[in-house]
Structure 1
C-alpha cells in the first residue's frame, strides 16, 4: 500500500471516529432512562467538592472507586465554564480516545490496525451512550494504548495500565496477562510499582491511607446486580413467578439488584471465584510462556480470557463493563486479525444487546419483560462463551509439548508482529 492510500484510510477512519463520538454523545441526550445522569449527579459533585476543599472522596472518606478515578472528573471541571460539565466530560473522554486512536491508526497502512480501528468505531456506536458517559470510558484509551505499547515500551505501557487500574481495577487483568505472556516481566513490574507508589504516596500525604482500598470492601459487601451474568437465573425465576424472586433497588449503591433464594450466598462467593479464575489463568499463561509459546500467540487469548473473567464472575455487571472488551479485541486484531475476527463480531453483538437493555428498554427489563430478559440472556451467554473459548485457547497452548530448545528463543521473541 502506498503512503497516499494509507493516509486516505487514516483520514476516513478519523472522520468516522469523530462522527461516532458525536453521535453517541448526542444519543445520551435523546435516549430514555437518562444514560448521562452519572456524569451530572455523581461525577460533577464529587469533583466540585474536591476543588472547593469540601472533601476528597477516596482520601477524606470511603469511596466506591480507586482514588485515581477522581482525576478525569476534575479534568472535566477545567472545561466546564465553556462547555458545561456534561459536554466537558465528553470532551475529556474524546481527548483520551483520540490519543489512543492515533497510536492505533498511525499512517493507516496496516490492514490489521485498520480492522481494529473499524471495530472500535462500530463497537462504540453499537454500545451507545453508556460507552462515553461512564468512568469506564476513560480507562478504555489507557488500556488500548497499553496493549499497543506493551512489547515495544513495557514500562510506559504498564504505567498506563496501572493508572487505569487505579481508576477501575479491571485493567489489572491485562497487566497480569502481560506479565505471564511476555519476557519483559521486570519492566512490567517496574512501571506498575512506580505508578502505584505515586498514587499511594499522594493518598498518604492527604491523610487517606485508611481509605486506600475502601473500594474493595464496598464492592465485596454489595448484592448481585440485576444485569450481572450470574443474576440471569433469578430473572427467569421472577418471570416464572417463583416466590421471593425479583428485582429490588439499593438506595445506598444507587443500583438494581436481584432478590431470591440463594442470592446472598452466590453474591458472597462470586468475588472468591473471580480471584480463583484470575490466578488459574495467570498460572496457565506462565506455563505456556515457560514452554516457549510466543507472546504473539499467547497474550491475546490470555488477555481476553482474563478480562472476560472479570466480567462473568463480577457481581456488579453494570452495562458499561462491556467497554472492557475493546482493548483485548483491539490487541488480538492487531496481532492476529483472522483468529480475532469471531471475537470482534461477538463483542459487537454483545454491545448491541447491552444497548437494547440499557438505556433503550431498561424500564421493561426492570419489569422482567420476557423479550428483554431473553436479550440479556443471549448477551450473558455470549460473554460466557467468549470467556470459555479464550480460556480453552490458553489451556491448549499451556498443555502442548515443549518446543525444541533450538527454536525456543525464536518462538518466544517479543518482537512486534508485522500485520
Structure 2
C-alpha cells in the first residue's frame, strides 16, 4: 500500500512540475499546443476545414482526436494549453495504474520510476506534443501483448494512427508474438475503421497525406544526419546554414550534397528497419524467448526510426520510453543500463530544447556540442540494441 501511495504522489508531483515548466522555460516548449493544435481543432468546430480530410496533414488522422478532446478540460480551466496537459496527465494515469499494479512487483516499480524520471529528464516538450498521447497507449499495448493480444494490438495501432512511430512496436509484435494473426487482425481492423471514417467524410484524396508529405522534406537541424551541416554552419563555412522552413514550420540545414543526402535517407531508413526485422524473424524461427526478443527488437527498431531519419525533434525521445518500461518489467537486470542511457539522452535533449535552442538555430559551440553528444548517445543505443539482438540466445526445441 505504501509503495502505491508513494508512486502516485511522485506521479502527481512530476506531472505538476513538468506541466508548469512548460510556461516557465524559454522558447515556448508548449507553443505547439496553442499555436498549432488549438487552431487546427477550432477550425473543425467553426467549419474552417478538417486537417487530414479537407487538406493534407503532417500527422495521421487520429491525432486530431486528442486535439479536439482537449477543449473539454480546457473549457473548464479557461486554457486550452492547460486542458491539453490535463488530458495527457489523465492518459498517463491510466497507463501508470496498470503498470504499477499492486505496487509489490520490484520490476514494475522500477519501470514506473524510470518512466517518471524520463518525463522529468525530457521536460515539458514531452508533455506538450502529440507524441505524449501515443506513449501511454504504447505502454499499455506492450504490457498486454501476451495476455490480451487483440486489445494490445488495437491500442498500438491506434497509437500509430496518432503518431507513426508505434509502427515499430506493431512490426515487432507481429514478429515476436506467436498469436500474430490476432495482432494483424486487430491492427487491420483499427486501420480500416480510421480510413473508412476519413473516406466517408470525403477525405479519400488526403488519406495518406501524412506519408507522402514527408518524402520531400529536407534535413531537420536536430536529426543525427544533420550534425555535419550544423558544425559547418557553426564554423561559418560558405553555403552551410540553418534556416526556418515556413512550409513545414521547422529549422533545417543547407550545405553541399544536401539534396543527395536527403534523397537517400528514406531508402536508408527502410533498409535499416528491414534488416532489424529480418534478424528478428530469424531469432523467432530459432525459438528466441519473447521476453528477450520483443524489448530488444522493439528498441532497436525504434532507435533506427530516430537515428536513420532526416527528421528530428526533441519529442522523439518519448518514443524510447514505452519499450524500456516493458523491458524493465520483464527483465530489469538487463534493462537498467539501456534505461540509464535513455535518461541521459532525454536530459541532453531538454538542454538542447528549450534551454539552449537559440544556440542551435544560430549555432553556438555549447549548444551544438550538447546536441552532438545527444545524437551520439542515440547512435550508441541503436548499435547496442542491434548487437544485442544479433547475439540473442536461441533455444533448441525438438
Would you call these one fold, judging by a TM-score over 0.5?
Answer: yes
Counterpart secondary structure, 1:258 = strand
Q: Contact 1:182–1:289 at 8 Å: present in 2 too?
A: no
Equivalent of 1:82, from 76, 79, 96? Answer: 76
How far apart, CA to CA, are the structure 2 residues paired with 1:388 and 1:51? 47
Structure-1 residue corresponding to 2:67: 73
- Structure 2 unaligned regions, length at least 5: none
Distance 1:34 1:239 in 2: 24
Asked whether 1:342 is paired with 2:334, we answer: no
Quick check: 1:228 aligned with 2:223? Answer: yes
Match of 1:201 among 196, 200, 223: 196
Matched, 1:289 2:284: yes
Partner of 1:152: 147
Per-residue deviation, 1:190: 1.1
Hey, what's the Cα distance between the residues in 1 that align with 2:47 and 2:234? 48
RMSD: 1.0
Mapped pair 1:304 → 2:296: no
- Which of 102, 105, 108 aligns to 1:110? It is 105
Pick the aligned partner of 2:395 from 382, 400, 403.
403
Q: Give yes or no for contact 1:140–1:324 (8 Å, CA) kept in 2.
A: yes
Q: Distance in 2 between matches of 1:405 and 1:171?
A: 32
> 1:18 and 2:40 equivalent?
no
User: Normalising to structure 1: TM-score of the pair?
Assistant: 0.93
The equivalent of 1:143 in structure 2 is 138
In 1, Cα distance between the equivalents of 2:246 and 2:348?
A: 26
Tell me the equivalent position of 2:360.
Answer: 365
Q: Give the 3-state SS of the residue equivalent to 2:50 in structure 1.
A: coil
In the alignment, which of 110, 113, 120 is matched to residue 115 of structure 2?
Answer: 120
Partner in structure 2 of residue 410 of structure 1: none
Deviation of the 1:393 alpha carbon: 1.1
Cα distance per residue 1:83-131 (max 9 Å; x no partner): 2100110111111111111110011011011011001111111111101
Aligned length in residues = 397
SS in 1 for 2:197: helix
| Equivalent position SS for 2:15 | helix
1:39 is the counterpart of 2:33 = yes
The within-5 A match list for 1:163-174 is 163-174=158-169
Instruction: Quote the residue 1:9 is aligned against.
Output: 3
Contact 2:286 / 2:396 at 8 angstroms: preserved in 1?
no
Query: TM-score, with normalisation over the residues of structure 2?
Result: 0.98
Show structure 1 runs of 5+ residues with no match. Answer: 1-6, 407-419
In 2, Cα distance between equivalents of 1:225 and 1:404:
46
1:350 deviation in Å?
0.5
For the residues of structure 2 that align with 1:354 and 1:297, how far apart are their CA atoms? 28
Find the aligned partners of 1:245 and 1:311 in 2 and give their Cα distance.
23
Runs of 4+ in 1 over 6 A off after TM superposition: none
1:363-395 deviation line (CA, Å, top 9, x unaligned): 112221111111111100110111111011111
- 1:374 and 1:95 map into 2 onto residues whose CA distance is 36
Match of 2:94 in 1: 99
Report the Cα offset of residue 403 of structure 1: 3.4
In terms of mean alpha carbon deviation, does 215-224 or 135-144 score higher? 215-224
* Cα distance, 1:241 vs structure 2: 2.5
Is residue 131 of structure 1 aligned with residue 123 of structure 2? no
